[in-house]
Copies of this chain bind each other. A is one copy, B any other.
Amino acid sequence: MTETLIKVDLNQSAYDNDMVHNRWHPDIPMVAWVKPGDDFIVETYDWTGGFIKNNDSADDVRDIDLSIVHFLSGPIGVKGAEPGDLLVVDLLDIGAMPDSQWGFNGFFSKNNGGGFLTDHFPQAQKSIWDFKGMYTSSRHIPGVNFAGLIHPGLIGCLPDPKLLETWNTREQALIDTNPTRVPALAVPPFAATAHMGRLTGDAKAAAAATGARTVPPREHGGNCDIKDLSRGSKIYFPVYVEGGGLSMGDLHFSQGDGEITFCGAIEMAGWVHLKVEVLKGGMAKYGIKNPIFKPSPVTPNYKDYLIFEGISVDEYGGQHYLDVHIAYRQACLNAIEYLKKFGYSGAQAYSILGTAPVQGHISGVVDIPNACATLWLPTEIFDFDINPTADGPTKFIDGSIDMPLSPDL
């Protein structure tokens, strides 16, 4: 049987598991070593370490201290991996914990991180999704059921000191442009809630003081939230330290492009079965700055889409210059308005876009001044027909069920 290299106990605090960490720092000790060619299993907490519960209240989404995230399993050393190499990782399989066949999705309060559409959904809301084999559905959002595109939201290797310094410097510079903004522009190191794995004492304190937060994707990959890094895919990660130091977590049962709800995809605890190889000197050979990857041969094969366009004129009429972020937001808002015609609340529609295998495509980015983005909504995930017809939409959803909401205190 394949060895489980890192185990997690969902009844134990993630802080008490020394094979887990929640900051990026080169000094975090490897918790295990493997050889090129090895395959092994890694268990992970959900990104919040179990803070969000399977219940019908959004209080936990409202109250969470986001400085604790993300709880990652690792780092794992690969013998022979050296700076400049590429660590080739096959995601052989991924699953939820057998006794934890559910996940959560939600929106943070605007005062606690917000989300892509936080101006429209400023309060904490939550939906719970049950897994039935390959499929998921939610008791808070009727009429939708789909096969998961399971993936780790966060995976990558440890930075070296120079790269870490680069991250901290450039992000602090951005924060300094508007340090009191809500939500924040970026999040700096924060020692109080840092979990530095097997580091202890002064070494831990020193590393915690500068350990990079795990929130953004960066050169090493990290929190990319790319739904297509799914089970079956192959990823080439830059290596910065001896052994690489591969860590991962933030597993998603499914997610739409953009992870627009921020809290987040369908978030779950689970396990990853991986194989590792080393491509010596691969960074220079192939000119690699960020990870590259090849998609899985096994992904949900939804083919019938209804596609929504958005341009970089914001919802208040403001004109922006080739801004894909705003264009995609418009496409999302357009899709939400459309789904409301079938009886969904805005929050339910927003959650569907954040969890289902929705695609976000970049269309024109050169036709001044408007960028164009498209949101691809798979029609087959609905229990009813959402295509436009001459008769107009039927309200299949009667509005009797909605997502729990917890107003700011």
Contact = CB atoms under 8 A, between A and B. Distances in A.
A310 B187 CA distance: 20
A325 B371 contact: yes
The residue among A183, A257, A313, A320 with the most chain B CB atoms within 10 A of its own CB is A313
Given A92-B135, A359-B361, A388-B279, A225 B324 contact: no
B217 A309 contact: yes
B294 A307 contact: yes
The residue among A285, A301, A359 with the most chain B CB atoms within 10 A of its own CB is A301
Contacts of A370: 216-218
Nearest to A370: B216
A286 B92 contact: no
A83 to B, nearest CB: 17
Interface of A: 1-2, 39, 86, 88, 90-93, 98-99, 101, 115-116, 132-135, 146-147, 166, 170-171, 173-174, 183-187, 215-219, 221, 223-228, 231-232, 236, 257-262, 264, 273, 275, 279-282, 285-311, 313, 317-325, 328, 330-331, 334, 337-338, 340-341, 359-374, 376, 380, 385, 387-390, 392-393
B369 A338 contact: no
Contacts of A305: 294-295
Contacts of A366: 115-116, 225, 258-262, 264
A185 B301 contact: no
B216 A367 contact: yes
Contact of A285 (B132, B260, B341, B367): B341
A185 B393 CA distance: 40
The residue among A183, A291, A304, A366 with the most chain B CB atoms within 10 A of its own CB is A366
A330 B215 CA distance: 19
Contact of A224 (B291, B341, B364): B364
Contact of A185 (B39, B135, B369): B369
